[in-house]
Structure 1
Amino acid sequence: MKNVLGIILMALLISCKSDSKTDKEGPEKENGRLRSEWKLAEKEKNPNAKNVDTAPLGEVANPTAYTFDDFRISKNRVGIFSKGMSISDVYNTLPRDQIKKKVGYGEFAGDTYDDYEIYDANGKKILVLTAMEKGNTHSKIGRVLILDKRFETAEKIGLGSTFGDLERYYATDKMSPDIEHIVIDVEPINAWFTIGKTELREGWWNGRGIDRSKIPGTAKFDGICIWWK
């Protein structure tokens, strides 16, 4: 564990490019849970994740593909999926071949969770749903990772939208650095938006936190995740 934490700390020190001790320690201390959980979301984009059986025993595949036409993101809803829905509800809503269960792996040994990839009628992966409890299809959805630009908030904010777009409608003062991104926590819609550090101006970490003036209004979001508790 110490080796892993050491690697994470070193990456943060390099990315921040700070000469002072305060600058070096700041990112490591700020909101560790936020960084850790977003790293799990980033792992969903890993094509080497292990595939497992696509549905619980007894499920019957629906021969007709479901066509998605609802792409609205809100606090308690992402398209046809809403807060409080269980994984069983998902299987009762979509044909079996539009759901693929995968095992996700966390940072430490034994840290695993159940993901359910959702595909549209054309076979494109558009969402990843993560169960609150692994090994239990009656578990509720705890996280929704958005992979398709068609999903947007009522204000038309989605993947590819900019920091300036978000600032016009929501408070953006709750931020935290990750290894390769900064994460913006937008509580009114239970969402995390990520921007790659390569989009930021030099000196974005000022020793106390993220300097908002170093985030261009044109910086685009490359990740959106909705969290339900």
Structure 2
Amino acid sequence: MKFKYILLAVFSCSMLVNCTTEQNTDFQISGNQVGKLTKQSLARDIDLIFAKDSVVQDTVKLNFGNGASKIKIYEKGGELLLTLTPNNDSIATIQNILINDDRFVTEEGISKISTFKEIKDTYPIKKIISSLNNVVVLLKDNDLYFTIDKKELPESLRYNANSKIEEVQIPDNAKVKYMMVGWD
């Protein structure tokens, strides 16, 4: 009789542990997914995908039939989660995702509050592109990319948009300005 109770207690504990270890993927970034979005998500389904959140679209563009230029996803509490840019295909999917919320994190633990050192220690860097005010860090074999403000760079690199910036020239403690995902 006692064996039944012990077996029941062990089974109950294991079920409780299994239930609590399920991971919430609402803020997980992986290869083909950002939170509730996948590469195959259609722009027209955004209201359904984010039914519990607030979806704000550019109504002027929608009224003229060109589709929304930007779609902003707000949490019900008012926090901006994501800014989405659909492509212009006849069946539009999401082309670019700007990660606005710190809770979105990759499987490797990188988020928009990560430093350049954390990024380069986690991912191989494919290319660094310099613009007037920013540098864009593209990763090898990854749709994720980062923008770093040139204010984070040494002063000698800040004012020339055409200068080629190397990985070693970006300080380890440089903060990410934008974290984005670009899907083709």
* TM-score interval for Structure 1 and Structure 2 normalised by the shorter chain: 0.7 to 0.9
Match in the other structure for 1:12: none
Shift of 1:95: 2.8
Conserved 8 A contact 1:76-1:83: yes
The amino acid of 1:195's aligned partner reads I
The amino acid of 1:189's aligned partner reads N
The amino acid of 2:41's aligned partner reads M
Q: Once superposed, what is the RMSD of the aligned Cα atoms?
A: 2.6
The amino acid of 2:29's aligned partner reads I
Match in the other structure for 1:221: 176
Indicate yes or no: 2:146 matched with 1:190. Answer: no
Q: Describe the shift of the 1:104–1:165 C-alpha distance in structure 2 as closer, same or farther (beyond 3 A).
A: farther
Shift of 1:69: 5.8
Match in the other structure for 1:121: 76
Match in the other structure for 2:120: 167
Q: Describe the shift of the 1:183–1:78 C-alpha distance in structure 2 as closer, same or farther (beyond 3 A).
A: same
Partner residue of 1:132 out of 76, 80, 87: 87
Write the distance in 1 (CA, Å) between the matches of 2:82 and 2:60. Answer: 15
Partner residue of 1:100 out of 44, 56, 65: 56
Mind listing any 5+ residue stretches in structure 2 that lack a counterpart? Answer: 1-23, 62-66
Q: Describe the shift of the 1:152–1:125 C-alpha distance in structure 2 as closer, same or farther (beyond 3 A).
A: same
Counterpart secondary structure, 1:218? coil
Write the distance in 2 (CA, Å) between the matches of 1:133 and 1:69. Answer: 28
Q: Describe the shift of the 1:80–1:96 C-alpha distance in structure 2 as closer, same or farther (beyond 3 A).
A: closer
Q: Describe the shift of the 1:191–1:219 C-alpha distance in structure 2 as closer, same or farther (beyond 3 A).
A: same
Match in the other structure for 2:103: 150
Shift of 1:211: 3.0
After superposing on structure 2, the runs of 4+ consecutive aligned residues of structure 1 that deviate more than 4 Å are none
> What pairs with 1:36-55 in structure 2 (closer than 5 Å)?
none
Percent identity between the two aligned chains: 29
The amino acid of 1:196's aligned partner reads D
User: How many aligned residue pairs are there?
Assistant: 153
Counterpart secondary structure, 1:203? helix
Shift of 1:113: 5.8
Counterpart secondary structure, 1:174? strand
Write the distance in 1 (CA, Å) between the matches of 2:125 and 2:59. Answer: 33
Q: Which has the larger radius of gyration?
A: 2
Shift of 1:148: 0.7
Write the distance in 1 (CA, Å) between the matches of 2:137 and 2:114. Answer: 13
Q: Deviations over 1:185-216 (max 9, x none)?
A: 114331220111111113347x8721332211
Shift of 1:103: 7.0
The amino acid of 2:181's aligned partner reads I
Point out the structure with the larger strand share.
2
Q: Deviations over 1:155-202 (max 9, x none)?
A: 211112101001111112400012211000114331220111111113
